[in-house]
Amino acid sequence: MKNYKKPTIFSLSSAPGKAGVSVFRISGPSATKALKSLTRQKFFEPRRVTLKKIYNKNNELIDSCLLFFMQGPNSFTGEDCVELHVHGSVAVIEKLTSELYSLGLRQAEAGEFTRRAFENGKMDLTEAEGLADLIDAETEGQHKQAIKQMDGALRHLYEGWRENLLNALAQIEGEIDFPDEGDIPDNLSHKALSYLNLVLEGSEKVLKTADTGEAIRHGLDIVIIGSPNTGKSTILNALSKRDAAIVTPTAGTTRDIVSINMILTGIPVRLSDTAGIRDTSNEIEAEGIDRALKLSKKADILIHVIDLTEDNSDNNIKSQISDGDIVVYNKVDKYQKQTMLKRGISSNEIKISALKEKDIDDLRALIEKTILEKYTVGNEPTLTRVRHRNCVSEMFLSITRAASCLNKSPELAGDDIRSALYALEELAGASDIESVFDRIFSRFCVGK
């Protein structure tokens, strides 16, 4: 076999442009060779920061920099790694870049350092994903979730599951090899069952976190919905403290969806105002209503707005409110005899005047309370991607099948447990699926 040597890669790992300090990263088998050429030195003590002058091949001084050498495998990528902390000058960055090219190094692709770390067993795929999320994190909730995942929360979880599945498999295989016909336990008393049940319970619990985990990564969609003229746009404007949506006394003013971004409880939120729902023969308004209904189906939280000054007795809004939705009774400043709708479900209700901005802060607090009830980032591990959800669901189904045929056909149960283990390997990234890796690592920025 041809002795394949990985190329040595480099990248500006800090943000491009003028700055106090810029950080270059180099990783690969020729990292020390490049370092020797840059510094004219022969030896570098690993894990020790030193101040060094670096030169190009024409003996021109490029800069004085802090140099940090990490010898593989004790480095982020598992290879020889160098960090050069140079002055954040555009000219220095350009000069050093062209020198590294001339030394035969190649510019790293997006996520290539992390990919090497993963390939060298420095982290599993869930930890690499956690790292990507941490770099993208903009809010407190996203930070908390990402750092937990980067720190191995999901890995610890599935390693525990794998252990139990292997124990279950050992029980079954012992039985296949040495069948004891006189003493066949039924499915329910099978020794493997307790191991399988542990994984079923754990994975069922964690599957419930998937909605929360994915929502925190992507942000929440909160949609304001209701009949025309109830004050939806006024509410959006009051919450966002700007005139984002047009408000007029004419019913059917809003047609397009008007969205604003905000951060509530440390989670990014997209709050959307929609067209008032009613029967209409106006083609444009009908299109707006269609869009409103489609968006409301995808919403994480719905805010129904009801106009207290209208007669809502035969309003079919009641049937559209689900558990956990928010109901806002608006125009309390003109409120006369109307009573709140009588409904048999629990929802979060509030009376406000959007026009007078009365109790708008209470509405914001109610929205925050609703978010916290549904989407709190706890200390438990969470599934944060569709990929995780698919792998864990796949594992759950395989174990359920295995549990149901433990005694009837131990061979089949064994096969199902092996499928469950395979699903876990996919979660960890141990099964070699290039396309998945490409998708995950290409989302990193260059230099990571």
Number of CB atoms found within 10 A of residue 278's CB: 13
Compute the distance between CA of residue 79 and CA of residue 70 in angstroms, rounded to an integer.
8
| Residues 354-413 close enough to bind ligand GTP by CB under 6 A | 354-355
Return the number of the residue (142 or 234) whose C-beta is nearest ligand GTP: 234
Asked if 233 interacts with Mg ion (CB under 5 A), we say yes
Stretch that binds ligand GTP, among 63-71, 140-148, 330-338, 407-415 (CB under 6 A): 330-338
- Out of ligand GTP, Mg ion, none, which partner does residue 244 contact, by CB within 5 to 8 A per kind? none
Q: Which residues, at least 6 apart from 393, have a Cβ–Cβ distance to it below 8 Å? A: 207
DSSP secondary-structure letter at 276? Answer: P
Return the number of the residue (191 or 358) whose C-beta is nearest ligand GTP: 358
Asked if 330 interacts with Mg ion (CB under 5 A), we say no
Cis status, amide bond into 73, omega within 30 of 0:
yes
Token pair of 92 as six digits: 């220095």
- Four-point Cα dihedral 60, 66, 69, 74, nearest 10: -150
Stretch that binds ligand GTP, among 36-44, 201-209, 229-237, 420-428 (CB under 6 A): 229-237
- Out of ligand GTP, Mg ion, none, which partner does residue 230 contact, by CB within 5 to 8 A per kind? ligand GTP
CB of 323 to Mg ion, least distance (A): 26
Stretch that binds Mg ion, among 27-35, 203-211, 228-236, 377-385 (CB under 5 A): 228-236
Binding ligand GTP (rule: CB under 6 A), the pick from 111, 219, 268, 276 is 276
Binding ligand GTP (rule: CB under 6 A), the pick from 78, 228, 268, 447 is 228
Return the number of the residue (210 or 238) whose C-beta is nearest Mg ion: 238
Q: Which residues, at least 6 apart from 9, have a Cβ–Cβ distance to it below 8 Å? A: 26, 27, 28, 105, 106, 107, 108, 109, 112, 113
Which residues share a beta bridge with 10? 26, 107
Asked if 259 interacts with Mg ion (CB under 5 A), we say no
Token pair 């269609």 is at which residue? 290
Compute the distance between CA of residue 297 and CA of residue 295 in angstroms, rounded to an integer.
5
Which residues share a beta bridge with 223? 272, 302
Asked if 251 interacts with ligand GTP (CB under 6 A), we say yes
Residues that bind ligand GTP (CB under 6 A): 228-234, 247-249, 251-254, 275-276, 330-331, 333-334, 353-355
Residues that bind Mg ion (CB under 5 A): 232-233, 253-254
